[in-house]
Structure 1
Amino acid sequence: MNNYKKWIVTKDDENHSISLILNRQDRMNVFDLESLDELVDLCERIDNDPSIWVVIVSGEGTHFSAGMDTDILKQITNVSEEDFRSNMRHMQECFDRFERLKKPTIAKIKGFCMGAGFMFSLCCDFRIASEKSVFCMPLVKLGLTVLMGTQRITRLTGIQRAKEIVLLAEKFNSEKALEYGLINRVVPPDQLDDAVKKLAEKFLRLAPRTIGITKQVIGQGAFLPIRDSEDLEIDLQASILDSADLREAMTSYLESKKPAFTGY
């Protein structure tokens, strides 16, 4: 999985994890169209690889991601309305695809986490940030609204705080992000790698396919009527009744022994 121009991809077979590092350090890891398209390709490969149980995303060098490449922002606002709609939909769908990954995802955040980079982190299931991280949604200063999923902020923080974050476009620190419910944990910079590693290792003790369907139950079920969400639970559980890992999880739990999962 190393044939990508904008991502450094490292697979750890022993720990069943894969690390995706946005590799545009010279531009503070801003997203461009190629990095988004490569992300979609990576998602397809990850979801089809049963040996990958957890995904860790970060940015090369000092920053997580400072947002979207300004060249793209200039291009998308200098086209017809039809092309603008088409281009934005394509970009949004790239993040949507990542959010739909069946594997748990962890954002390892340091430095700038802004704009599209901020929105990308919110597509992850877990977010651990260095104490020195800086968050911001600066798009209104460019005359643009949030174009990569405003609701991701609103659903986590509520309407009032979302307005404060988006309309004022001010920078805020990791402690404020934690207070707002935007991240799961804040750690000193020298403890960031270890904190992410320990979280990822927790998934070694859990059945991968069960984690995958449970992630779907939470993500999709949150927007369904209760009866429909309960039907979703039944349907997804029924879909893995043939799973060897399901039987292994049940047996190991009842016999108080360490499970040996395979991803199947």
Structure 2
Amino acid sequence: METLSIEIANRLATVTLNRPEVRNAFNETTIAEITRVFRDLDTNDSIRAIVLAANGPAFCAGADLNWMKKMADYTHEENLADAGQLAEMLHTIYSCSKPVVAKVQGDCYAGGMGLVAACDIVVSVDTANFCLSEVKLGLIPATISPYVIKAMGESAARRYFITAERFTAAEAHRTGFVHEVVTAEALDGKVAEIVKALCSNSPNAVKQAKRLVQDVASREVTPALIAATVEGIAQIRASEEGREGVRSFLEKRKPNWLS
């Protein structure tokens, strides 16, 4: 890996953006590497959770300037292909069957906010700043918008998409974009606490619960949706881990996925 570092230990994979000299701005290499790594981790049965982290003072400054210079001369077709790769990377993170925790240790701008929004749980230091800066450059946050709008809601997105204002971790927490805001000293501990909770649960149930939220969110409550949720609970109850979980609870013992 040219732009990432990967560590796997105790059922946890930590994927770290590793270009601190450019504030972890991403380019086509970063996009390809993140996509490949998350696809590999998705199929690794020994992994229960993934942490997306970064080295250096910034989490991610968005697009790399040299990459942006190249894009300035792209044709429409080349821009479509390039944006398609970014979209594929974001969707790979979002659709990963393993829970993904974003560990935000510093500023997060533009496309970096897309990376974070594609994760399931976001923990940020209280000193981090956030910004959707695209309109300052005559651009729009189009590719990241499905994930950012889901994360912060339409009202907040409407404001920050068009003002490009920088906002604090506290504001990101208020909008729902960030789940936990902690001091720098408490960041590792809070992430470890969340990872421990994730790894204590049924791997299959966590996978299905993550998919459940994605399938049900923003849908109208119709007979078809109700039927789908009924089918979902019937299937999970009959699953191997579902049966084991209930048995272990009734027998007052740990389930076998903790062994």
TM-score (norm 2): 0.91
Q: Which moved more, 1:225-234 or 1:48-57?
A: 225-234
Partner Cα separation in structure 1 for residue 28 and residue 228 of structure 2: 34
1:184 to 2:183 alignment: no
Partner Cα separation in structure 2 for residue 214 and residue 180 of structure 1: 23
Q: Structure 2 counterpart of 1:249, which letter?
A: G
Structure 1 counterpart of 2:129: 134
Q: Structure 1 unaligned segments of length 5 or more: list them.
A: none
Q: Structure 1 residue 242: deviation in Å? A: 7.1
Structure 1 counterpart of 2:247: 251
Of residues 169, 173, 178, the one that matches 1:174 is 169
| SS of 1:8 mapped into structure 2 | strand
Question: In structure 2, do the counterparts of structure 1 residues 204 and 118 end up closer, same or farther at CA, with 3 Å as the change threshold?
Answer: same
Of residues 143, 146, 159, the one that matches 1:148 is 143
Matches within 5 A, 1:7-156: 7-12=4-9, 14=10, 16-156=11-151
Q: Structure 1 residue 171: deviation in Å? A: 1.0
Q: Structure 1 residue 262: deviation in Å? A: 6.9
Q: Which moved more, 1:89-98 or 1:69-78?
A: 69-78
Q: What CA RMSD, in Å, does the superposition of the two structures yield over aligned residues?
A: 2.1
Residues paired across the two proteins, number: 258
**Contact 1:51 1:262 (8 Å CA) reproduced:** no
Q: Which moved more, 1:170-179 or 1:84-93?
A: 84-93
Question: In structure 2, do the counterparts of structure 1 residues 100 and 69 end up closer, same or farther at CA, with 3 Å as the change threshold?
Answer: same
Structure 1 counterpart of 2:199: 204
Q: Which moved more, 1:62-71 or 1:155-164?
A: 155-164
| SS of 2:247 mapped into structure 1 | helix
TM-score (norm 1): 0.90
Q: Which moved more, 1:127-136 or 1:250-259?
A: 250-259
Q: Structure 2 counterpart of 1:153, which letter?
A: V
Q: Structure 1 residue 225: deviation in Å? A: 4.4
